[in-house]
Amino acid sequence: MPTMPPRQPLFVLTILVGSFLLFLVQPMIARFALPMVGGAPNVWNSAMLVFQLLLLGGYLYSHALSRLPVRRQVPVHLALLALAALTLPIDLFDLPAAASGWEVLWVPALFVLSIGPVFFMLASQASLMQRWYAASGDAGDPYVLYGASNLGSFAGLIAYPLLLEPTMALGAQSLLWSAGFALLFVLVVLAGWSRRQAAANAPAAEEEDFSERVPPAVTRRLIALWTVLAAVPSGLMLSTTTLLTTDIMAAPLLWVIPLGLYLLSYTVAFSEDGTLARHLTRIAPITLLFVGGFALSPTGDASFGIALAMVALLFLIAVSLHHRLFELRPDPAHLTLFYLMIALGGALGGVFAALIAPVIFDWIYEHAILLVVAAFLLPMEEIPVIGQYLKRGLLGRTISIVLLMLGALLAWRLALASGAAMNTQIAGMMGLLACLGIVVMGSRMLYVAVLAMIMIGHVGYTTIRSSLDGERARSYFGAYSIAETQGGKVRYLTHGTTMHGQQFTDPAMRDEPTSYYGRTSGVGIAISQAAPDARIGVVGLGVGTLACYRQPDQHWSFFEIDRQVAEFSAEERFTFLSDCTPDARIVIGDARLRLAEEPGGTFDLLAIDAFSSDAIPIHLLTQEAFAVYGDALSENGLLLVHVSNRYFDLAPMVSALARQGGWKGAMRMDTEDLAPGTVPSLWIALTRSDDSYNRLIASSTVDWGRLPPPADRAWSDDNASILPLIRW
């Protein structure tokens, strides 16, 4: 058989383009679906689970196809690519809206039906192209091309929020992506043509020259190890995403960061040189000790710095475990099996983090569990001399017991300091425990034990106790915590780092409006001035604080997407509803979809309170959404929009939407002389009625300000980007 030229640049380009398209389409289809699914963190995790399962299917297809001769693989693959292209351009499948509680199945079904065929075929590209590349006798090690695959994937993820989303409408994005798919088809034709004279039997790559490296024998134990090494980083990527989007914001811009770094870790780990991967592997177990200790900290106590540290830890662990995978790669004859097991591990990690954990845990415990499992798998170097002593029979066991007792003492002191919020002592105890963990790195069990002590000592015990006491709850839309402060005088509800409401426990004070809804806030003023028989609608229930503005003949409706939030009031964990509006209508489901079902002119006042959380549901802040609000309001109706937010300046966008829709507006910033239990708030009042506008402003005893200059472009379902609104 004549020796074929390797054509490496062609295969690198084909793999890069395929992977770029594969991971460009993920945030794109999520953006398409945003008006239907909202911005909850688990929406992205559900999407990621679908992508991982389709990726597994693609690798399974590639593995099965590789059993054929390369000359037969090419026409089969090209025919299936052409069939998948018939589903283009990309658009959402017309699937009926999800019933409340079934989002965990409905969201995956929507993504599968919308992009399943093209994603499935793209998922097979990387491993199949490497297999075709290896069919040439002088091609070299094909595994290094996997780095190019993940580099393309990383580029696709970053390109979407930074380039496509801010500059293109969804229709243009879809057409551009379809053109990229056509380019890929041409590249696959050229790659297949370059292997037209490959050997009749697929395992031609067994003749590859691996220099001095001897590939390991493929055993069941090795296959299981491949799967686990792939599963842990995949699960960590999703659990880190949950932490990040819960603590900061749920938006595609942040969704792609953990996934992008996860993919980039493969590029680093599967490098032929491997120098950077080895350096990062050395520091990974040390970083795990210093950062992993925060894994059980209540999210409300977390900070932006801790969130970023967790992202960095994800990258280090992923590089370390993926580099170990690379070191255990088999002969190219088993290449597709190797990638199939990687995909299986990725899917299993996704199933655990996205499906199992939210059902069995009332908090994000999966993150800490995966970090502990990673501690069992990370390559680590023992401290010279000390590591040898730990292995010396009775002496080693004695030293181990002494070190464990020392660790337990330090963890106890850490717990006391954490309970008293003594930050200096907390830092000192965590540092000492981390140093102890470094000392015992020669013993895997001791290392893991010290890591667990740091996690539990640093308020981890508080998190666990809160779960045992029933103070936590978790749903598809996030993890919630109920706690009391000020000596039990105030009970509050948090979702991540965001407070969703609070209530005084004193019977004489418990119906007094608190947090963002005080009597001098924009919404407090507007509702107080509403007619005695007004029809009031509120989007976002929270703890029900606004309910106690109700007058006897008014009719109130609350729209809440998460049934769990409504249950807090139904169980009277918070009593605003039961005390003030026991007959209020509670509508469960996405507010925009439910409001669209209401008869026109249903409400005299509609308060949109869905943006005080840092998880911004963009689909509630578009031209189409404001059209729905306008239809739901009466002729003289008043729309109140809550735009208090730590990370986004939403007021210019509301101003732009008001200008686009012909609304008149004023802004109330309530920051001075706040009543007990209230916090600063920013509300915008909008109406299309001159009478309503003049009545609100003229009768107010406090100042209303003008709307700020509008944003350059009002958001629409077809074109919206959060980048211009971020408070950098």
Query: Looking at the predicted structure, is the pLDDT value of residue 210 above 50?
Result: no
Helix (H, G, I), strand (E, B) or coil at 374: helix
Q: What is the pLDDT of residue 6?
A: 53
Question: C-alpha distances in angstroms, 603 versus 28, 560, 566, 635?
Answer: 35, 16, 21, 9
Q: Which of 263-267, 314-318, 526-530, 532-536 has the lowest mean pLDDT?
A: 263-267
* 560 touches 586 (CB < 8 A): yes
What is the spatial distance between Cα 677 and Cα 40, in angstroms, rounded to a whole number?
28
Amino acid at 245: T
Q: What is the pLDDT of residue 414?
A: 84
Q: What is the pLDDT of residue 288?
A: 94
Dump pLDDT digits (tens) for 315-334: 999 999 999 999 998 888 88
Q: What is the pLDDT of residue 698?
A: 75
Q: What is the pLDDT of residue 258?
A: 87
Dump pLDDT digits (tens) for 29-76: 877 877 766 555 556 666 777 887 888 888 889 888 888 888 889 999
Q: What is the rounded average pLDDT for all residues in the chain?
A: 84
Range list of H helices, 610-679: 623-632, 651-661
Residue given tokens 């077809």 in the structure block: 718
What is the spatial distance between Cα 592 and Cα 657, in angstroms, rounded to a whole number?
16
Q: What is the pLDDT of residue 245?
A: 67
Dump pLDDT digits (tens) for 93-136: 887 766 655 666 777 888 888 889 999 999 888 888 888 887 77
CA-based nearest residue to 286, from 409, 381, 179: 381
**How large a percentage of the chain has pLDDT more than 90?**
39
Q: Which tokens is 187 given?
A: 């590249």
* 516 touches 267 (CB < 8 A): no
Q: Residue 420: which residues within 8 A CB-CB, separation 6 or more?
A: none
Dump pLDDT digits (tens) for 493-505: 887 667 788 999 9
Query: Looking at the predicted structure, is the pLDDT value of residue 302 above 60?
Result: no
Q: Which of 207-211, 434-438, 648-652, 712-716 has the lowest mean pLDDT?
A: 207-211
Domains of the chain: 8-206+217-377 (1.20.1250.20), 386-468 (no CATH), 509-725 (3.40.50.150)
Full-model pTM: 0.78
**How large a percentage of the chain has pLDDT more than 70?**
87
Question: C-alpha distances in angstroms, 213 versus 189, 242, 655?
Answer: 33, 40, 64
pLDDT band at 464 (very low <50, low <70, confident <90, very high): confident
Q: What is the pLDDT of residue 3?
A: 43
Give the residue-averaged pLDDT of 588-598: 87
Q: Which of 303-307, 483-487, 649-653 has the lowest mean pLDDT?
A: 303-307
Residue given tokens 């490098």 in the structure block: 271
**Whole-number CA gyration radius for the chain:** 28
Query: Looking at the predicted structure, is the pLDDT value of residue 2 above 70?
Result: no
Q: What is the pLDDT of residue 209?
A: 45
Helix (H, G, I), strand (E, B) or coil at 616: coil
CA-based nearest residue to 318, from 441, 236, 226: 236
* 544 touches 501 (CB < 8 A): yes
Q: What is the pLDDT of residue 559?
A: 94
* 313 touches 291 (CB < 8 A): yes
pLDDT band at 139 (very low <50, low <70, confident <90, very high): low
Q: Which tokens is 219 given?
A: 């055993």
Q: What is the pLDDT of residue 248?
A: 56
Q: Respond yes or no on whether the N-terminal peptide bond of residue 89 is cis (omega within 30° of 0).
A: yes
Number of H helices, E strands in the chain: 27, 11
Give the residue-averaged pLDDT of 341-369: 88
Question: C-alpha distances in angstroms, 134 versus 113, 139, 614?
Answer: 34, 6, 49
What is the spatial distance between Cα 207 and Cα 212, in angstroms, rounded to a whole number?
14
Query: Looking at the predicted structure, is the pLDDT value of residue 202 above 50?
Result: no
CA-based nearest residue to 369, from 312, 448, 437: 448
Query: Looking at the predicted structure, is the pLDDT value of residue 565 above 60?
Result: yes
Q: What is the pLDDT of residue 200?
A: 44
Question: C-alpha distances in angstroms, 508 versus 28, 489, 511, 514?
Answer: 51, 12, 8, 14
Q: Which tokens is 639 given?
A: 């729309």
46-77 per-residue burial string, b: 16 or more CB within 10 A, e: under 16: bbbbbbbbbbbbbbbbbbebbeeebbebbeeb
Q: Which of 520-534, 658-672, 711-725 has the lowest mean pLDDT?
A: 711-725
Q: What is the pLDDT of residue 375?
A: 95
Query: Looking at the predicted structure, is the pLDDT value of residue 9 above 90?
Result: no
Helix (H, G, I), strand (E, B) or coil at 606: strand
298-329 per-residue burial string, b: 16 or more CB within 10 A, e: under 16: bbbbbeeebbebbbebbbbbbbbbbbbbbeeb
Give the residue-averaged pLDDT of 487-491: 84
Q: What is the pLDDT of residue 243?
A: 77
Looking at residue 562, the DSSP 8-state letter turns out to be -
* 448 touches 375 (CB < 8 A): yes
CA-based nearest residue to 434, from 298, 299, 313: 313
* 495 touches 561 (CB < 8 A): no
CB-CB neighbours of 446 under 10 Å: 20
Q: Which residue has the higher pLDDT, 565 or 146?
A: 565
Dump pLDDT digits (tens) for 213-271: 678 888 999 999 999 999 999 999 988 888 776 655 555 566 678 888 888 898 888 87
Dump pLDDT digits (tens) for 472-482: 888 777 778 88
